[in-house]
Structures are given as C-alpha cells and as structure tokens.
Chain A
Amino acid sequence: MAYLDHAATTPLRPEAFAAISAVLGRTRNASSLHASGRAARRVVEEAREQLAAGLGARPSEVVFTSGGTESDNLAVKGLFWAARAADPRRTRILCSTVEHHAVLDAVQWLVDSADAQVSWLPVDELGRLNPEVLAAELGRYPGQVALVTCMWANNEVGTVQPVVELARLTRAAGAPFHTDAVQALGQLPVDFAASGADVMTVTAHKVGGPVGVGALLLRPGVAITPLTHGGGQERDVRSGTLDPVGATGFAAAVTAAVEDLDGYAADLGGLRDRLVAGVLREVPEAVLGGDPDLRAGPDAGRLPGNAHLSFPGCEGDALLMLLDARGVECSTGSACSAGVARPSHVLLAMGADPAAARSSLRFSLGHTTTASDVDAAVNAIGPAVERARRAGALARARD
C-alpha cells in the first residue's frame, strides 16, 4: 500500500506511540487535588512545555483543544465576539478565500447569525494572498476589523502564505491575526513568536500525533470569548476535562517532527519532486497546481510534501478509485460528509473552472513515505488516467 494522503492524517510516530502508551493505563483527572490528580496534571503541563518549545511559544500560550476544527472555531468566533464586545464598530472579518472549511464556515456562520460583515480576500492563481490586498482592505475599514484570518499553508495545493507580513499589517491596523498552521507544522519552520500572529491553530494528527487533540496558541492580552463553558480549564478559554494522553502524544509528535526539520523537509521535497516528475513523464498533459517553485527551505513557497495535480479530461474521484484499486491512496482535495466530491473552493478561488477543479488529485507525502511509494504511484497513474479519460469523455459526450 502506497499511502500518499498524509495531509489527511499522517501515521502515528513511534515517539508519540511510546509517550501515549506510558500514560494510557493510568489516566486520572488532571484537575483533581490528590496525588493521582497531580500526576495527571504533571503529564499535561510537561506536554504543554514540550509543545511550546517545539512551536516557539510560551507554555502559558498553549490552549489544548480537540483539534484543528475546534481551534479554528474558537479563534474565529472567540476573537469576533470579544472584539465586538470591546468595540461595537469592530464587526468585520477579513478572511482569505482558500481557508479550510473550519474557518470559512465559522466565518459564514457569524455572517448569517451574528451580523458579522466579511471581506473575502481573493488570492492569485497560485493560491497566494498578496499582502497589498490585505493592506487595502484594512485601509478601507479603519477601526472596524474584528479579526484577520489566513492560513499558513494551504491543505489542498500546498501554497505557503506570507503570514509574517500579513500579521504585521494586521497588527499595525490594531486587529488580531489568526493563522491556521495545521498543514505547515512539521513541514515548514513554524515559530509562533517570530510569526507575529496573535492566535494560531495546530493539531496533532497531521504531525504524527493522535487524532482528537490540538491546540490554539494565544498571545497574552488577546481577548477571546470561549465557545465552551464549564470547569474553567485552560485559563477559562476552553472548559473541558484535560486530556493527558492526547497532550503527551501531541507533544512527543511535535518534538519529533521539528527535530532536524530542514533535513526532513529537503528529503520530503526530493521525494515529492520525484513524484511530480514521474507523473508528468507518464501523463505529459497533467498540470501541477499551486506554486511551481519547488525549492525547499525557510523561504519555500510550497509545502515540500504536497503534489497537487490536475488531469484534464478526467474526474478526480474516478482516478482516486482506480488508484485505490491498485493500492495507491490519495485524495481529491475536499469531500463532504457523505463522501460526495464537490469542486474545490480553493481551486475555484484560484481561477480554475469547475471541470478543471473536479479533475485533480492531491498526493501528500509524509514521514513514512519511501521512494517505492512514489514509484508505485507513478507506475499506476498512466493506466488510471487512460481509463478515467474514457469515462470522462462519456460524461462530456452527453453534455
């Protein structure tokens, strides 16, 4: 099996497995005051410190959550509610058009139900938000912006955003800046302090930790209204019993992921380049989506593990099925809860037409990927495209 869907969930790292196993059999409530409670709390706090160290943050800035979706919802809604409560004129959200649904839909919900205004910030054909677009929009609404949100790197096409510049512009305009760094973490150097972001989303299962735990990094003094109310854990920002098992697995995964990141990213980029070159050799009409600059390193314009390819005349879900039958696992980019493929909003935002948007596959590489996985995909792609193109021609003949 060639697993090339690490951007969905990457396999558990052995370090995380070991850390989880060490505490799984003795979970207690970390808020209890007795010795067992203190022991559980110690696991959580050590994880918090370890995680903060891996993310360029302070331990007090880490709010554990259930994962990326909760962190994004907490960031968007929490920042909006708090900003508006402090100043009723701050009701506008500035949001890029290529965000994950966890951000997009949270913003849209505020528009629909809480009278929020939104500026959807357009991206270029590589999927990148130009800082000048943000600057112009901030200039248009002085004193009215509740928050700006833009992801660090895109989950579908892998495009890296100029977050440092976006954060600087936002801060200069007096608004908080949130970034979803779920895909960036473990592939790019992610330093919360150096980024200038006020709020940042991260999650464990994209870096080799368990599913079901994530964090929101929250700079001190940034006002945020909680989504959940209850026991007042996590500085009253996120009530709910602390999860020592998840926290320790998350921390171990991040520590492993950021160790020798440069070397890892270079290797990963090399495998990705081999995949892209191989696919283009087998299917010369295939088109690489996103940033074509494949250089790895701190200034990378693209995630080293991402290969987003369109196959004109094919439907992505037909290709996915054919590759799956040959043991090659990838993704079409986005899927709804029923498993029905819709044209990706990211590709549409980048200017693709709906047919082109349906013809893509995302291969995402990660810490277990080998050259033979890549070669399996390259070997399978030619016949799959041939078949899918026949099926696609049928669909078009009808129209």
Chain B
Amino acid sequence: MRLLAAMSGGVDSAVAAARMVDAGHDVTGVHLALSPSPAAHRDGARGCCTLDDARDARRAADALGIPFYVWDLAERFAEEVIDDFVSEYAAGRTPNPCLRCNERIKFAAVLDRALALGFDGVVTGHHAQLANGVLRRSVDIGKDQSYVLGTLRADQLAHAMFPLGDSTKEQVRAEAARRGLAVAAKPDSHDVCFIPSGDTAGWLRGRLGAAPGPVIDALTNTEVGRHDGAYSYTVGQRRGLDLSRPATDGRPRYVLSVEPVSRTVTVGPLEALDRRVLRTTAPTWTSGRPSPLPLRAQVQLRAHGTPHPCEVSADGTGLTVTLDAPATRVAAGQAAVLYDDDTGQCVLGAARLTAGD
C-alpha cells in the first residue's frame, strides 16, 4: 500500500513509520506544521511544532530512506483546534485539543488530502490497536491513547493505521534505539503543543483578556475570593485558587462549576464534585452503526482516567450515562469515550459531556 506517515519528530511516529516500511509498504513521511509562525531558532519555542521537531522527523525519514515533506496546516489548525480551545474555555467548558486535532486535522484534513493524492491510508504513532474496524486499547495501558482517538468515525478509521498498539512504550524506545533512530531517547510530550510555556491560564488571559469576577463558596454561598477570568478555571481544579478566606470546615476546596456569563467560579469540597448521571451530545459510534440502547459499558472521561462501569441510554439525540459509582471532577466539554463492558478494551463510541447531576 501507499501510506502517508504523520511524523511529529517523536519516537512513536518514527517507529510506526519504520514498521510500515518493514512490512513492505511504500511509505512517505509528512511533518505537519501546525504552529501559526514556524518557530525560528531565536524564538526558543518548544512543543509539537518547533523546528527541532521538524528536523527530528526529517532525520528519522532519512534513516528509514523514505521521502519526507512538511505540510503546512497552521491555518486549519488555528481555526479548528486553537479557536475551538479558546471558545470552549470561554464558554466554561474543558476541551481536549489532542482529541480535536485527531478528529479534525490528522484524520480529516490530512487523511482527505492523502487519499486525494493517491495514498491508501495514514499511519500514526498513537498507542492503540486497530483491527477489522475495532479500535482497542494499547497493550501498554499507561500509554494507551485510544481515548484521544475515540471520536473517530468508521470511515476515518478505515484508512488509519496504528502499528504500535501491540507494544509497550519501553519496547518502542528499545526498537528505536536498535534501528538507530536518534529520537529513541527523546522525552514524551505532555503539554498542549500550542501553549509551549505550559501556562494555560496565562495563555488564555492573553487571548481573552481580563474578565474579573467572584469566587463563591458553595457551602456558605459567600464570596471567598476574586479571579481575573473564569476561563482560567477547570472543574475539579484545586491548585491556584488563591482564596482570601479559609473554608469553614478547614478542608481543601475545588472548583465545582464555572459560569461564564456571570463570571462566577464556585468552589466547594471534593464530594460536591461527585457525579453519577452524565449527559452528552450526539455520539459517534466507532463501528459506524449505532449501538442498541440501553447498553452496559465502561466510560472513560479523561485521557488517562480510570474507566467507570455504567449504563448508557438514549436521551434525545444525545446520551445519558449513569455510573455505577460516582465519578469526581467531571467537566462539561470533556469527551466521554465508551468501551465495551466485558473487556473494557474496545472503543464503542464517544460523545462530549454537556452536564451532569
């Protein structure tokens, strides 16, 4: 097959491309330039789209002996991922930009272009397994990325290949070293790639401007502090609240809700974050066919969160997900990815949380 390997400059995508070359495919490497202003040396930027990463990707392609190009998707990335990230926070929700990037960039813009240009599919270094249209968790549960692929549709997955799902990260690193790939020891990326400083709150403040408002304690219904912008807060957040008055019960307080219109951030004790019933937007079903409802399943609510056994039922066009035991720190905007009840390994579908009670 003619395959397009998305090469970030990291160890995973390099090994994924290498495995496809070994399997006899005709592989072309592409590095996606996603940064609005390709970082120059003097910028000292880091993240997924620096010149260092482009160079690492190029050198990996050299080592594999495959053609290599840089595709400029900065404009599209800014519209589909960065703008969405900002508006979600502005609306008091908690988005996952990696998931959005997979859904709108890697397996949409890139995949569409690849197919139009005569490629048969797109290869990435995601840690997940895909066989016969079934998306499963990686054997390396600690590195499993099936969650951020959870919203992909059947037609997208039909042209996707994840060659690393049967290996642990350690095995991938060892293989990279054995293959002489210079990225073998490169650290994993963690931050949001377009916020290289890691300071999401500060970055959002720069985009959205100061919008001060009160921090209200849910127990006493009194103002216990002020903030510069409600968008800087995430449901479940504990650090950085900077409250002027201690809680009456002396226990740590967490962000319970963010209300963008009145700019109100409500804080309270951890147990007030417990949620059993979650509501979602319309789901995408991985198989391409809606699963019969109601349905027993396991639901995962964050990238490396634990799965929760649950019952899923229809709720208008969306879903109601009723957890067997309450989950904590659940925020609107997060993706609810459903896995099969028996093994908890296979992705059934995904939807975005709207609210819970």
Report how far A338 CA is from B69 CA in the complex, Å: 10
Given contacts A321-B69, A325-B67, A391-B113, contact A338 B118 (CB under 8 A): no
Contact A338 B116 (CB under 8 A): no
Q: Does B303 contact A (CB under 8 A)?
A: no
Q: Does A336 contact B (CB under 8 A)?
A: yes
Report how far A115 CA is from B71 CA in the complex, Å: 37
Contact B38 A394 (CB under 8 A): no
Q: Which residue of B lies closest to A325 (CB)?
A: B67
Interface residues of A in 342-396 (CB under 8 A from B): 342, 387-388, 390-391, 393-395
Q: Does A341 contact B (CB under 8 A)?
A: yes
Contact A339 B70 (CB under 8 A): yes
Q: Which residues of B contact A395 (CB under 8 A)?
A: 113
Contact A338 B113 (CB under 8 A): no
Contact A317 B118 (CB under 8 A): no
Q: Does A254 contact B (CB under 8 A)?
A: no
Contact A387 B116 (CB under 8 A): yes
Contact A337 B113 (CB under 8 A): no
What per-residue 1/0 map shows which CB atoms of B104-128 lie under 8 Å from chain A? 0000000011001110000000000
Given contacts A337-B51, A338-B33, A390-B116, contact A317 B69 (CB under 8 A): yes
Contact B112 A394 (CB under 8 A): yes
Contact B117 A391 (CB under 8 A): yes
Q: Which residues of B contact A393 (CB under 8 A)?
A: 116
> How many residues on chain A are close to B (CB under 8 Å)?
20
Q: Which residue of B lies closest to A397 (CB)?
A: B112
Q: Which residues of B contact A388 (CB under 8 A)?
A: 117
Q: How far is the CB of A395 from chain B (nearest CB, A)?
A: 7
Q: Which residue of A lies closest to B74 (CB)?
A: A340
Q: Which residues of B contact A267 (CB under 8 A)?
A: none
Q: Which residue of B lies closest to A386 (CB)?
A: B118
Report how far A339 CA is from B38 CA in the complex, Å: 10
Q: B117 touches which one: A322, A336, A339 (CB < 8 A)?
A: A322
Q: Which residues of A contact B71 (CB under 8 A)?
A: 317
Report how far A134 CA is from B120 CA in the complex, Å: 54
Q: How far is the CB of A109 from chain B (nearest CB, A)?
A: 13
Q: Does B40 contact A (CB under 8 A)?
A: yes
Q: Does A318 contact B (CB under 8 A)?
A: yes
Q: Does A273 contact B (CB under 8 A)?
A: no
Q: Does B72 contact A (CB under 8 A)?
A: yes
Report how far A318 CA is from B119 CA in the complex, Å: 12
Contact B117 A338 (CB under 8 A): no
A-B residue pairs in contact (CB < 8 Å), sample of 22: A317-B71, A317-B72, A318-B113, A321-B67, A321-B117, A322-B117, A325-B28, A325-B67, A336-B38, A337-B40, A337-B51, A338-B33, A338-B51, A338-B54, A339-B69, A340-B33, A340-B70, A341-B72, A387-B116, A390-B117, A391-B112, A394-B112
- Which A residues fall within an 8 A CB radius of B? 317-318, 321-322, 324-325, 336-342, 387-388, 390-391, 393-395
- Contacts A322-B117, A324-B67, A393-B116 known; 4 new A-B pairs at CB < 8 A: A317-B71, A318-B117, A337-B38, A341-B72
- Which B residues fall within an 8 A CB radius of A? 28, 33, 38, 40, 51, 54, 67, 69-72, 74, 112-113, 116-118
In order of increasing CB-CB distance, the 5 nearest A-B pairs are: A391-B116, A339-B70, A338-B38, A390-B116, A340-B72
